[in-house]
Homo-oligomer: A and B are copies of this chain.
Amino acid sequence: MRDVAIIGIGIIKFGELWEKSLRDMAVEAALNCLTDAGTDRADSVTIGCMSSGVFNGQEHLASLIPDYLGKNNIPATRVESACASGGLAVRNAYMEVASGLSDYSLAIGVEKMTDVSTGMATYALATACDRDYEAFHGITFPGLYAMLARAHMERYDTTREQLAQVAVKNHSNGALNPFAQYPFPVTQEAVLSSTMIADPLRLLDCSPITDGAAAVLLTTVEEAKKFKSSPMVIIRGVGSATDTLALSQRKDMLELGAVKKAVHRALKMAGKKIQDIDFAEVHDCFTISEILVMETIGIVKPGQGGPATIDGLTALDGKFPLNPSGGLKSKGHPVGASGVAQVYEAVSQLRGESGKRQLNNPKLALTQNMGGSGGSCVCHVLEVKD
């Protein structure tokens, strides 16, 4: 297996982008990435997108995106694993390079979510849960995560204030990110008094509906040495795993099996422990998600996610910063793009290019991208080469 490095990253400002189509966004992020890399070479491209069929009536992005990128003969693949589609795109580009099929491989994540009615967006997102045994009976994702939040509150005495603090912390970070959809702080009071969505989750506990795209360019470590403009970031570990699609099928609702296994696999491949990681971008689609993830990947013990968040462990200046980008909560959650945007942030931080939200000299980062209510998860361990 060949060692793989990331030599280019690109993103666009997330938001409600009425003036940009699906293809516009994907191409803009990809061009930003190639410009950042200082090469326009891509031997293959992988597009992570969750549901352009339902959102936009457009499948076959493997033909559309390279075409509009001016690369209409290269091998291309669209991958999908609900909200983990972006992480999977990076993993796929990793395989292209590691296997030797490609020397330079581009991963693009994209989703255009705001061009439909709210009901249609909810329908599209509900395709990520079990159609026959969940969605058919009326459950939606806020409902599924509300059940997780309620169970966590029951078992561990997690409080509404602790949940709210995840949103407060991530908005505080996102306020420093020029690409964030909602780049402003929110107070705990604002979270606690926002509209109830699915008890106990309120509007500001939920990540938003977002248009956006991000891209990263991968090549072999050997080839990467030719590019001197930025520090080299190496993909040390790749981990992917799955779990039951339906939440009701799990032995323990609060155990995110796919997350546990994916992180374990990525760390094992990298030869690292969770304690070695300097910071992580994790999948905070709801405030409860970040708490569940930090407990699952071993940053804190089960039940300690809420108190640790209040104590500042995961803040920008904490011992284990989570979501310096603002996370899905503040940066926005264009579902197919989020996993790639996490890698964008990780590389940006490792290079020391994150401006006002820059962490203090981080060396090792983890990204954790999850689909549905934890039915799939893709993780990466990234290291900057001194």
Q: Chain A interface (Cβ within 8 Å of chain B)?
A: 1, 21, 44, 50-54, 56-64, 66-67, 72-82, 84, 88, 91-92, 94-96, 98-101, 123-124, 126-132, 135, 238-245, 249, 257-258, 261, 265, 371-372, 375-376
Contact = CB atoms under 8 A, between A and B. Distances in A.
A57 B131 contact: yes
A123 B124 CA distance: 16
A371 to B, nearest CB: 6
A1 B242 contact: no
Given A63-B244, A77-B240, 19 more contacts: A1-B100, A21-B132, A52-B127, A53-B53, A58-B130, A60-B371, A63-B376, A64-B130, A66-B242, A67-B243, A67-B244, A67-B249, A73-B241, A73-B243, A73-B261, A75-B265, A76-B240, A76-B242, A78-B79
Contacts of A130: 58, 64
A112 B51 CA distance: 17
Contacts of A239: 75
B51 A53 contact: yes
28 contacts: A1-B99, A50-B59, A51-B53, A57-B123, A57-B131, A58-B127, A59-B127, A60-B82, A60-B129, A60-B371, A60-B372, A60-B375, A62-B81, A62-B242, A63-B244, A64-B375, A72-B242, A72-B257, A73-B242, A73-B243, A73-B257, A75-B240, A76-B81, A77-B81, A78-B79, A78-B80, A92-B95, A95-B95
Closest 10 A/B residue pairs (Cβ): A63-B375, A75-B240, A99-B99, A62-B81, A60-B82, A1-B100, A59-B127, A98-B99, A58-B131, A53-B53
Contacts of A99: 1, 94-95, 98-100
A75 to B, nearest CB: 4
A245 B26 CA distance: 15
Contacts of A261: 73
Contact of A245 (B60, B79, B243): B60
Contacts of A249: 67
A74 B243 contact: no
A57 to B, nearest CB: 5
Given A72-B243, A96-B95, A80 B59 contact: yes
B57 A127 contact: yes
Nearest to A58: B131
B53 A127 contact: yes
A371 B61 CA distance: 11
Given A62-B376, A128-B59, A81 B79 contact: no
Contacts of A376: 60, 62-63, 76
A192 B1 CA distance: 54
A63 B95 contact: no
A14 to B, nearest CB: 21
